[in-house]
């Protein structure tokens, strides 16, 4: 995507801080990687693995850390956290689309809903009875917001999000397409060979500064609420079961499945396609590796793993023989 804006290094630093070294006036038109940047783009060195690319980059300027301040002769911005600086520089060049206050004429907004005058309601959106939509919040096309849902300020629902009744969403939160918040948790009681549905009468509470990826689902609680803390970032296609409570600033990668009544601490990192069994607790500061199953509570911060290493299929067949022997009790 072409960046429409131009800033000099001096202007970037005026917005974002950092120390400018070298030519501060040259116009920069956007951000790119060291490998692909052209002479009017600014690149960044956030991972020393890529340091060798610094010598051969065609970038017009570079963002880097204090230890690399003299590693290049290019115009540069020195900052303690080049990766976060890169993030903010991209945002400077690519601000989110402005919210256009107003209601699309096709939107179906219940007369008892309270929609801020600065909010944007897209085509074919449905806003239920008693719902409240905050200031400068954008509800995308074909979203369905249930009755009594409360959505804060400066929040963005991309098209085709569903929020069931009574759920709440905080400020500055982003929900991507296909997200479903507040569908019924998976609760059934066995009775004479059949399953009796347990009505799910809790709700979902999403905090402030949360992001939820495309097609992720977060179920409403059975009796109490499912809670996602402030600053949590959830990737695509995640399933969060009923009554889960996820602590602030925890990040969860794509395809993770979290069963019901799980408590996850603050600042955890859950790897892609991991699974977490129901009714367990994970303390603050835990990292779970990709595709790892957590079956018991984790009480100590650290990294936990249960993934099997990859093998060529013929080696895997040999390994599987050992597994069967161990399982049959044929090995000591």
Active site residue 242: yes
Q: How far is the CB of 76 from a second copy (least distance, A)?
A: 18
Sketch the per residue contact string, 90 through 109, with a second copy: x for CB under 8 A, - otherwise.
Answer: xx-xx-x-------x-x-x-
Under rule CB under 8 A, residue 111 binds a second copy: no
Which residue among 74, 151, 228, 259 contacts a second copy (CB under 8 A)?
A: 259
Under rule CB under 8 A, residue 326 binds a second copy: yes
Distance in angstroms (rounded) separating the CA atoms of residues 100 and 111:
21
Q: How far is the CB of 7 from a second copy (least distance, A)?
A: 15
Under rule CB under 8 A, residue 76 binds a second copy: no
Candidates 6-14, 18-26, 85-93, 112-120 — which segment interacts with a second copy by CB under 8 A? 85-93
**Which CB sits closer to a second copy, 48 or 223?**
223
Q: How far is the CB of 74 from a second copy (least distance, A)?
A: 18
Under rule CB under 8 A, residue 51 binds a second copy: no
Written as six digits, the tokens of 91 are: 């945002």
**Which CB sits closer to a second copy, 14 or 311?**
311
Please answer whether residues 6 and 26 qualify as being in contact, where contact means their C-beta atoms are separated by less than 8 angstroms: no
Distance in angstroms (rounded) separating the CA atoms of residues 168 and 132:
9
Q: Which of 293, 171, 158, 141 is nearest to 236 (CA)?
A: 158
Window 180 to 199, contacts with a second copy (CB under 8 A):
180, 183-184, 186-191, 193-199
Q: How far is the CB of 169 from a second copy (least distance, A)?
A: 16
Which residue among 103, 150, 176, 205 contacts a second copy (CB under 8 A)?
A: 176
Helix (H, G, I), strand (E, B) or coil at 328: helix
Helix (H, G, I), strand (E, B) or coil at 161: coil
Written as six digits, the tokens of 213 are: 């990826």
Under rule CB under 8 A, residue 318 binds a second copy: yes
Under rule CB under 8 A, residue 136 binds a second copy: no
Candidates 5-13, 20-28, 112-120, 293-301 — which segment interacts with a second copy by CB under 8 A? 293-301
Which one is catalytic: 15, 242, 249, 322? 242
Helix (H) or strand (E) holding 258: strand 257-258
Please answer whether residues 204 and 175 qualify as being in contact, where contact means their C-beta atoms are separated by less than 8 angstroms: no
Candidates 7-15, 59-67, 69-77, 285-293 — which segment interacts with a second copy by CB under 8 A? 285-293
**Which CB sits closer to a second copy, 76 or 242?**
242
Sketch the per residue contact string, 224 through 253, with a second copy: x for CB under 8 A, - otherwise.
Answer: x------x-x-xxx-x-x-------x-x-x
Q: Which of 62, 23, 71 is nearest to 43 (CA)?
A: 62
Under rule CB under 8 A, residue 48 binds a second copy: no
Written as six digits, the tokens of 114 are: 């309270």
Distance in angstroms (rounded) separating the CA atoms of residues 22 and 74:
7
Backbone angles phi, psi at 11, to 5 degrees: -70, -40
Which residue among 21, 133, 206, 255 contacts a second copy (CB under 8 A)?
A: 255
CA distances from 243 to 79, 161, 296, 308 (A): 41, 21, 17, 30
Candidates 26-34, 59-67, 69-77, 113-121 — which segment interacts with a second copy by CB under 8 A? 26-34
Distance in angstroms (rounded) separating the CA atoms of residues 107 and 123:
5
Please answer whether residues 37 and 59 qualify as being in contact, where contact means their C-beta atoms are separated by less than 8 angstroms: yes
Strands 150-151 and 263-264: what pairing?
unpaired
Q: Which of 99, 201, 103, 208 is nearest to 151 (CA)?
A: 208
Candidates 5-13, 18-26, 61-69, 211-219 — which segment interacts with a second copy by CB under 8 A? 211-219
Helix (H, G, I), strand (E, B) or coil at 50: helix
Catalytic machinery residues = 242
């Amino acid at each position: 995507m072409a960046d429409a804006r131009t800033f000099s290094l001096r202007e970037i630093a005026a917005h974002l801080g950092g120390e400018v070294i070298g030519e501060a006036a040259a116009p920069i038109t956007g951000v790119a990687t060291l490998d692909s940047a052209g002479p009017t783009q600014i690149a960044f060195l956030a991972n020393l693995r890529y340091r060798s690319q610094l010598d051969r980059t065609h970038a017009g300027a570079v963002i880097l850390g204090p230890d690399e301040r003299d590693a290049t002769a290019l115009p540069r911005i020195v900052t303690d956290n080049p990766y976060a600086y890169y993030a903010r520089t991209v945002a400077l060049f690519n601000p989110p689309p402005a919210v256009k206050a107003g209601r699309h004429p096709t939107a179906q907004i219940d007369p008892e809903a309270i929609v801020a005058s600065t909010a944007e309601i897209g085509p074919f959106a449905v806003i239920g009875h008693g719902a409240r939509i905050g200031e400068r919040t954008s509800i995308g096309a074909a979203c369905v917001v249930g009755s009594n849902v409360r959505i804060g300020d400066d929040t963005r629902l991309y098209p085709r999000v569903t929020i069931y009744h009574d759920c709440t969403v905080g400020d500055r939160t982003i929900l991507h397409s296909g997200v479903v918040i507040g569908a019924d948790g998976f609760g059934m009681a066995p009775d004479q060979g059949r399953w009796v549905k347990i009505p799910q009468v809790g709700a979902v509470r999403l905090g402030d500064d949360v992001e939820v990826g495309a097609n992720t689902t977060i179920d409403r609680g059975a009796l109490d609420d499912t809670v996602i803390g402030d600053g949590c970032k959830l990737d695509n296609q995640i399933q969060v079961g009923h009554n889960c409570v996820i602590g602030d600033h925890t990040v969860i990668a794509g395809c993770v499945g979290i069963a019901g009544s799980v408590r996850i601490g603050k600042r955890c990192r859950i790897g892609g396609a991991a699974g977490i069994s129901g009714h367990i607790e994970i303390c603050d500061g835990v990292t779970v590796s990709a595709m790892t199953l957590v079956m018991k509570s984790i009480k100590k911060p650290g990294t936990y793993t249960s993934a099997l290493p990859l093998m060529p299929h013929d080696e895997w067949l040999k390994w599987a023989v050992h597994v069967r022997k161990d399982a049959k009790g044929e090995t000591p």
